[in-house]
Amino acid sequence: MKHGYVRVGACTPHLSLANPKSNAETILKELLNADANEVSILCFPELSLTGYTCNDLFFQRELQQETLDSLFWLLDESKNIPILFAVGLPIAFDNKLYNCAALCLEGKLLGIVPKKNIPNYAEFYEARHFTAGEEIGTIRIRGNEYPFGTNLLFEAVNMDGLSIAAEICEDLWVPCPPSIAHAINGATVILNLSASDEIVTKSKYRRSLVSTHSAKLITAYIYADAGIGESTTDMVFAGHNLICENGKILAESPLFREGLLMQDIDIELLTQDRIRQSTYVKSTTNIETKSYTKIRFTLLSRDTITMRKENPYPFVPRENNEKEDRCEEILTLQAMGLVRRLSHTHCKHVVIGMSGGLDSTLAYLVTVRAFDILELPRTGIHAITMPCFGTTSRTHSNACDLAHFYETDFDEIPIQKAVEQHFADIKHDPNVFDVTYENAQARERTQILMDLANQFGGMVIGTGDLSELCIGFATYNGDHMSMYGVNASVPKTLVRDLVAHVAKNSSNEIRNVLEDILATPPSPELLPQKNDDMTQITEDLIGPYALHDFFLYYMLRYGFTPEKIFEMAYIAFDGEFDKATIKKWLDIFIRRFFNAQFKRSCLPDGPKVGSVTLSPRSDLRMPSDAYSKTWLDAIERITIE
């Protein structure tokens, strides 16, 4: 698949306990089904050819031989199935019995990985039957040599970054799983063949364990669990399968259901994040060093569209409960950043420009929260509205009402005459509505705020958000400047949810004002309006903030190419924007992003609240004179079918 995607699966087949031939036939059917669904990598449960609960039957030579017969039958029957799959079975070698994962592809047995950590506590008695896995090298099975050991890596020769390793059940649950060394040595996909019995609350712990481990190792983790066909003499198995990637649960099967779970993982995302996290490779000094045997294979390139659909609003959680918690956490982070700055400077007065728009509203709400935390009187918050040529009565009244309901200090300072005098001073025709006309108003407002801050012995609170800073939609030394920018790492799509969160938890009066602000389209209100109607709409000028925030997240967080971001956006927004529209605004995004770096190089302080921010001191060290040609050429290559 294109752009680093690989379709993977975890499968719990219908088990016939101690009947390897029947199980091999069932596994073959599941392989055919997975192939029809274009799966490329598939993991089956621990001891899936025999069943995990055979107990002392594992000592029976007949079962051992029948299992090997079934494995080689399965290999022969799967010669034309282009899936790398891992199946579990017991293997006797050198007077020992090992619990193994056999990794197979197109009729070939690529290698065998034995279980390293053998549980022998509570309901588990594996040490009665199995020996702990070792780094043996090779073993001979029926006249042929096969790689065997806990130090095998399976690397795709035709896909950068795809490296597979396997561990078995308990290997994950120990303090230092083998997968730690696997990942440090290059594995980006970990297969876990498991037989984890189900008891109360265990599924919740398992879910947390697998997802957290994938985040820690920056891997995709495919967990295939034994199901209801196992013996219920003392345990019940639920087939709890999981596909996780870098801390996210991409897919999860319901308990007590057999069959295939599949999802597309993003190898490029994993490798890019490993590059970005500089301590990843350095952490090798903290683990046992080992030499790895690398087994190379070629995976069929499937020309298919990814089934993976990213959140079109990556800065905003999808689930309402999670969204509420996230909004509360972010508002607190913003407020606490300001609390620290105010307390350190012994500042009891702040000045904030109130336009009646979303950004200034959020900055105002954060400031109120900070003053309440410090138990400072809200009258120390000096909200200033400065109407001019483009101000509408709607935004003006919302700014006034908000300050009134929160009982902060409020003043109105019209700036028309001052701006007209400035036009006269610089000999600018006031009938020419160009960038000079607009920026003169923004800078006049900033001058007033700064001077008032001097009068009050306070500081100016910035209102600009992450999205505006990204595309340079801010007047240099105008709204671009403040003493502390509380919204500096909050994108426009998230600003809306934060204000909505406050509205939901406010009195009716405040809620009504905030909801009207939320319903007002973003506008700089710098050009004269007709009949008091808002005609200068920001998104008509620069494009949808939803797209810009999507582009911003995947470009800065993972360094993805424009082609990949384009494809992801088209799928994520699911028809909301056609391909031509996405390509148009992606081109504009790249141009504006590169051209605006000089504005970001001198940003005021402001709190980081998420994984993507543009502060020149912490997250984005970018030259102001870099050329965007490489990225624009990539966009030019995108075809619109």
The phi, psi pair for 340, rounded to 5°, reads: -65, -45
* Per-residue pLDDT tens digits for 110-126: 999 999 999 999 889 99
Q: Is the pLDDT of residue 542 over 60?
A: yes
CA 154, CA 162: separation in Å to the nearest integer?
Answer: 8
What confidence score (pLDDT) does residue 221 get?
98
Across 520-525, average pLDDT: 91
Please report, rounded to a whole number, the percentage of residues in the chain having pLDDT higher than 90.
91
* Per-residue pLDDT tens digits for 70-98: 999 999 999 999 999 999 999 999 999 99
What confidence score (pLDDT) does residue 303 get?
81
Pick the range with the lowest mean pLDDT from 42-46, 387-391, 537-541: 537-541
Whether 310 sits among the annotated catalytic residues: the reply is: no
Across 573-587, average pLDDT: 96
Q: Is the pLDDT of residue 319 over 80?
A: yes
pTM: 0.92
What confidence score (pLDDT) does residue 420 get?
97
In 3-state terms, what secondary structure has residue 158? Answer: coil
* Per-residue pLDDT tens digits for 123-178: 899 999 999 998 889 999 999 999 999 999 999 999 999 999 999 999 999 999 99
Which domains, from first to last, does the chain contain? Answer: 2-297 (3.60.110.10), 320-636 (3.40.50.620)
**Residue 549, C-beta contacts closer than 8 angstroms, at least 6 positions apart:** 313, 314, 315, 467, 491, 492, 493, 494
Across 185-212, average pLDDT: 97
What confidence score (pLDDT) does residue 204 get?
97
- Positive or negative, the CA dihedral 165, 170, 173, 174 is negative
pLDDT, mean over the chain: 95
Side-chain-facing half-sphere of 183: CA atoms under 13 Å: 31
**CA-based nearest residue to 191, from 77, 14, 48, 18:** 48
Across 372-388, average pLDDT: 98
What count of residues does the chain have?
Answer: 641
**Chain centroid, CA 533 distance in Å:** 40
Whether 46 sits among the annotated catalytic residues: the reply is: yes
What confidence score (pLDDT) does residue 398 get?
97
Whether 169 sits among the annotated catalytic residues: the reply is: yes
Please state whether beta strands 189-194 and 220-225 pair in parallel, antiparallel, or not at all (unpaired). parallel
The b-or-e profile of 553-578 (16+ CB within 10 A means b, else e) is bbbbbbebbbbbbbbbbbbbbeeebe
What confidence score (pLDDT) does residue 335 get?
98
Please state whether beta strands 248-252 and 259-266 pair in parallel, antiparallel, or not at all (unpaired). unpaired
Across 387-408, average pLDDT: 96
Question: Which residue out of 30, 38, 46, 167 is catalytically annotated?
Answer: 46
CA 641, CA 639: separation in Å to the nearest integer?
Answer: 6
Q: Which pLDDT band holds residue 320 (cuts at 50, 70, 90)?
A: confident
**Chain centroid, CA 456 distance in Å:** 43
Q: Which pLDDT band holds residue 3 (cuts at 50, 70, 90)?
A: very high
* Per-residue pLDDT tens digits for 227-262: 999 999 999 999 999 999 999 999 999 999 999 999
What confidence score (pLDDT) does residue 535 get?
81
Q: Which pLDDT band holds residue 196 (cuts at 50, 70, 90)?
A: very high
List the structure tokens of 495: 């600003």
**Chain centroid, CA 215 distance in Å:** 11
* Per-residue pLDDT tens digits for 264-315: 999 999 999 999 998 887 555 555 556 899 999 999 988 888 999 899 999 9
Question: Which residue out of 115, 116, 564, 599 is catalytically annotated?
Answer: 115
CA 492, CA 266: separation in Å to the nearest integer?
Answer: 27
Cα–Cα distance list, 493 to 111, 201, 314, 328, 514 (Å): 48, 36, 9, 16, 16
What confidence score (pLDDT) does residue 536 get?
86
* Per-residue pLDDT tens digits for 505-515: 999 999 999 99
What confidence score (pLDDT) does residue 220 get?
98
Question: Which residue out of 169, 327, 347, 388 is catalytically annotated?
Answer: 169
In 3-state terms, what secondary structure has residue 131? Answer: coil
Please state whether beta strands 5-12 and 259-266 pair in parallel, antiparallel, or not at all (unpaired). antiparallel
* Per-residue pLDDT tens digits for 453-482: 999 999 999 999 999 999 999 999 999 999
Give residue 107's region: left, alpha or beta (phi > 0; psi -120 to 50). Answer: left
- Burial status of residue 160 (CB atoms within 10 A of its CB: 0-12, 13-18, 19 or more): exposed
CA 602, CA 310: separation in Å to the nearest integer?
Answer: 33
* Per-residue pLDDT tens digits for 39-52: 999 999 999 999 99
Strand order of the β-sheet with 152-156 is 248-252, 242-245, 220-225, 189-194, 163-168, 152-156, 293-297
What confidence score (pLDDT) does residue 281 get?
72
- Alpha helices, DSSP H only, in 457-611? 466-471, 492-504, 508-519, 538-542, 545-558, 562-573, 579-595, 597-600
- Positive or negative, the CA dihedral 194, 85, 166, 274 is negative
Report whether 180 contacts 165 (CB < 8 A): no
